[in-house]
Amino acid sequence: MFGHQIAPFVASVLAIRGKPISCLTSVKPEAELADNLLFNIGLLLALAGFAIAVLAIFAMILRSAKGTGQVRGGGVVLIGPVPIVFGTDKESARILILLGIVLTVVLLLLTLLQVVWR
């Protein structure tokens, strides 16, 4: 009864701007490609940081099992582009300050890259 009225509606829903849905999946604007690249870079950096943290934990466990080595530590917290550094001694703090500066520069470069790429 309503078949002749529903068919044009379904056809219009399945086509956007005159292109069938199957054609839309293969079309990617340049901005979307840039977003995917930056997302992948960020994901890789996050995974690399996680892997380094796991390796550092294993290294600390091995050193403590041998009974040698000192316990030193610290950290860097990035709140926006501002690094907050803490450490147990001056040498650790200096290394972490350099790491904080490098991370801030990478963060700013990736942000600028995203703005320029669009």
CB 63 within 8 A of CB 80: no
Q: Which residues pair with 15 in a beta bridge?
A: 20
**What is the pTM (predicted TM-score) of this model?**
0.46
Residues 31-74 have pLDDT tens digits of: 565 578 888 888 899 999 999 999 988 988 887 777 766 777 88
For residue 66, how many C-alpha atoms fall within 13 Å in the half-sphere facing its CB? 9
Q: Can you tell me the distance from the alpha carbon of 73 to that of 18, in angstroms, rounded to the nearest whole number?
A: 60
pLDDT at position 34: 59
Tokens describing residue 47: 């995974």
Q: Could you tell me the residue ranges of all domains in the chain? A: 29-117
Q: Which amino acid is at 99?
A: L
66, containing H or E segment: helix 30-66
